[in-house]
Structure 1
Amino acid sequence: MKKTVRNILIGSGAFALTVAAVSALSYNITKKLVKVALDREEPKATKKSQEKLVGSETFFKNIEEMGPSVEKLKNSSLEVIEIEASDGERLVGHFYRCENAKRTIVAMHGWRSSWAGDFGAISDFWHNNGCNVLYAEQRGQGDSGGKYMGFGLIERFDCLDWVNFLNKMGLDTLPIYLCGVSMGASTVLMAASLNLSENVKGIIADCGFTSAHDIWKHVSENNLGIPYTTVISSIVDDMFKKKIQMGAKDYSSVDAMKESRVPVMFVHGTDDHFVPIEMTYENYKACTSPKRLFVVPGAEHGMSYLEDKEGYEAEVLKFFEDYDK
């Protein structure tokens, strides 16, 4: 009997140690994931690991192809603008004025990206078709202030601040469109439920995700091979709250779409392995305002415009035509 009890105690101790080790491992993995997700400081990573993260072996090739258009936009006649966000953070934008403009675009770039990198390719099209563009630098990135990125949870309020600033600039007589790519798309979608001014006529969301929780669950499990357990999900939520005062599940693009009064154009490529197209389908289904969907066969993440310029431009111009009024 004593031997049996002793064996049970030893077994229990070993089990407890195993649980503790697994818990510590889960915490350390999660801490690294959240640091990569939210912290301004860019983690050191090889090209191969970055390609694995986004689920694309042509990630850097695509970036190289956009190089000339990125430099062209950077060297355009841009006015650097600084504003104070509603929470006191310093935000920086680059205003590209168009003579005889018909409308103004607020362009929100993606996660660990840049305003010129995400919009260099489409910049000439916008400019040649009567668009002023405010290229915002997302908080926690580039020249804007902030220690953390927020996956749209906090950036959505920055959209409202930029819109209010543009209207105070005297552009309140022109239609305004919120446009975003990747995390920028989710940012503008989440902004749809805010108290936007009446001259905000539409939103164009290119490859946006449904929520911070959903995108990191997908990336962890499908691209990185890390099981996104209930324990990890709970730790992620706690860390989000500590860093940005909102949990990863506290709000989503889907939530915003259920309250949207602004027309939305959704765009997504079928070969996107970073943000799966199913997330746009879910956002589209939830959208209660006038909506349209443009799917680009064969396009990887953020590459829909380059994959089908003619189709993309036609859809955007039709969207402007329908809602500029």
Structure 2
Amino acid sequence: MKKGAKLVLIGSGITAAVVALAETARYGMAQYLSGVAMNRKMPPHSLQAERKVVASCVNDVQMAQVNQAGKELAVVPHETVTIRGRDGISLTGHWMPVDHPKRIILAMHGWRSAWSHDFGIVAPFFRDNQCSVLYCEQRAHGNSGGKYLGFGLVERYDCLDWVNWLNTKTGGDIPIYLCGLSMGASTVLMAAGLDLPKNVRGIMADCGYTSPVEIWKYVAEHHLHFSYQVCGGPLGRVARGKLRMAMDAESCPQALARSRVPVLFVHGTDDRLVPIEMTFENYKACSAPKQLFIVPGAGHGMSYVVDRKGYQAALTDFWTAFDKNPA
């Protein structure tokens, strides 16, 4: 073989090796990131990545209020209930009924959070306004089963299963409102695209994102500081293997475009985890009756803390509009 041909072969081999190495690195990064995002048990040495994401939205004074309220809600006497999701996963909820309820709130918490933490601050207002509440533990959190978080794609079906449980429990004639914070907000917004019972009168969505793909892209580029294009393809394939569902199988705008259920959208202007533009996009896509409550100066999930009176007024107006008037 001539020397030139040998050099070409060697060069081709080196190129192939580099490409293979790059693909291996991309796949390894995708495995790691999907573990941070989706696994119940996070990968080793992943705490720093989680801290980078969470630290972007922490106000110590406000978080202290939220933490204290969460502790208080957790010890309120209630009934702990379990159901089986349609895929067989065990799901846990915390049922806090009131006498003569005007409505029922089905509450879905956010990513790597907890029912009492996310809703402790608003729970007294729910109770004082004759709301029975089912606080759900999202799959792969707390006492619920499941290995993986689905960013709303699978949880939307859990939400429907809980609605059906509530109607069996209470008779199906009490207005139900789906309520979610962050990932929980996107969960209930995606659930809007399902065939919900007629007594589901509304959805309250606080700081929800548009889709799993878009929030992953935003967090990767703005908090973890790398291009999503580098591992977006492998990440989608890894995630699909975990959920048995494509990550673009549903989005909030798609679900809202075909929904009949009224929505109250809430977002803070200083949210650095889920950009407020995502709520604007969801709001624009919604074909049902809709209301928008924006809180100046509020960070991620802190709208109720920053403007309690305004938030309470928005909830009251929303309930008044739809308790007895289904869309």
Same fold (TM over 0.5): yes
Normalising by the smaller structure, the TM-score range is: over 0.9
| Residue in 2 that maps onto 1:180 | 180
CA distance in structure 2 between the aligned counterparts of 1:298 and 1:219, rounded to whole angstroms: 21
| Residue in 2 that maps onto 1:305 | 304
| Residue in 2 that maps onto 1:116 | 116
Closer/same/farther in 2, CA of residues 273 and 257 from structure 1, 3 Å limit: same
Q: Is the 8 A contact 1:40 1:149 kept in 2?
A: yes
CA distance in structure 2 between the aligned counterparts of 1:317 and 1:82, rounded to whole angstroms: 30
| Residue in 1 that maps onto 2:210 | 210
Question: SS of 1:42's equivalent?
Answer: coil
TM-score using structure 1 length: 0.94
| Residue in 2 that maps onto 1:67 | 67
TM-score using structure 2 length: 0.94
Q: Is the 8 A contact 2:92 2:144 kept in 1?
A: yes
Closer/same/farther in 2, CA of residues 179 and 45 from structure 1, 3 Å limit: farther
Question: SS of 1:177's equivalent?
Answer: strand
1:10 aligns with 2:10: yes
CA distance in structure 2 between the aligned counterparts of 1:165 and 1:116, rounded to whole angstroms: 21
Counterpart mapping for 1:68-107 below 5 A: 68-107=68-107
| Residue in 1 that maps onto 2:152 | 152
Q: CA deviation at 1:236?
A: 1.8
Closer/same/farther in 2, CA of residues 49 and 89 from structure 1, 3 Å limit: closer
| Residue in 2 that maps onto 1:197 | 197
Output one character per residue of 1:19-41: Cα deviation in whole Å (capped at 9) or x when no partner.
22221111111100111111111
Q: CA deviation at 1:43?
A: 4.4
Instruction: State the AA in 2 paired with 1:261.
Output: R
Closer/same/farther in 2, CA of residues 131 and 157 from structure 1, 3 Å limit: same
CA distance in structure 1 between the aligned counterparts of 2:181 and 2:45, rounded to whole angstroms: 23
Question: SS of 2:120's equivalent?
Answer: helix
Q: CA deviation at 1:221?
A: 1.1
Which runs of 5 or more structure 2 residues have no equivalent in the other structure? none
CA distance in structure 1 between the aligned counterparts of 2:196 and 2:66, rounded to whole angstroms: 33
Q: Is the 8 A contact 1:267 1:293 kept in 2?
A: yes
CA distance in structure 2 between the aligned counterparts of 1:201 and 1:105, rounded to whole angstroms: 10
| Residue in 1 that maps onto 2:233 | 234
Instruction: State the AA in 1 paired with 2:283.
Output: Y
Question: SS of 1:210's equivalent?
Answer: coil
Q: Is the 8 A contact 2:62 2:305 kept in 1?
A: no
Question: SS of 1:195's equivalent?
Answer: coil
Output one character per residue of 1:120-174: Cα deviation in whole Å (capped at 9) or x when no partner.
1111011111100000001111101111111110110111111111111124221
Count of residue pairs brought into register by the alignment: 324
| Residue in 2 that maps onto 1:320 | 319
CA distance in structure 2 between the aligned counterparts of 1:4 and 1:311, rounded to whole angstroms: 76
Q: CA deviation at 1:45?
A: 5.9
1:280 aligns with 2:284: no
Q: CA RMSD in A?
A: 1.9
Closer/same/farther in 2, CA of residues 60 and 24 from structure 1, 3 Å limit: farther
Q: Is the 8 A contact 2:269 2:296 kept in 1?
A: yes
Closer/same/farther in 2, CA of residues 73 and 43 from structure 1, 3 Å limit: farther
Question: SS of 1:66's equivalent?
Answer: helix
Q: Is the 8 A contact 1:54 1:273 kept in 2?
A: no
Instruction: State the AA in 2 paired with 1:265.
Output: L
Instruction: State the AA in 2 paired with 1:14.
Output: I
CA distance in structure 2 between the aligned counterparts of 1:196 and 1:165, rounded to whole angstroms: 13
CA distance in structure 2 between the aligned counterparts of 1:265 and 1:179, rounded to whole angstroms: 9
Question: SS of 1:25's equivalent?
Answer: helix
CA distance in structure 1 between the aligned counterparts of 2:49 and 2:57, rounded to whole angstroms: 10
Question: SS of 2:195's equivalent?
Answer: coil
Closer/same/farther in 2, CA of residues 303 and 71 from structure 1, 3 Å limit: same
Closer/same/farther in 2, CA of residues 8 and 61 from structure 1, 3 Å limit: farther
Q: Is the 8 A contact 2:176 2:201 kept in 1?
A: yes
Q: Is the 8 A contact 1:206 1:268 kept in 2?
A: yes
| Residue in 1 that maps onto 2:249 | 250
Q: CA deviation at 1:64?
A: 3.0
Closer/same/farther in 2, CA of residues 51 and 35 from structure 1, 3 Å limit: closer
CA distance in structure 1 between the aligned counterparts of 2:158 and 2:57, rounded to whole angstroms: 33
Q: Is the 8 A contact 1:204 1:264 kept in 2?
A: yes
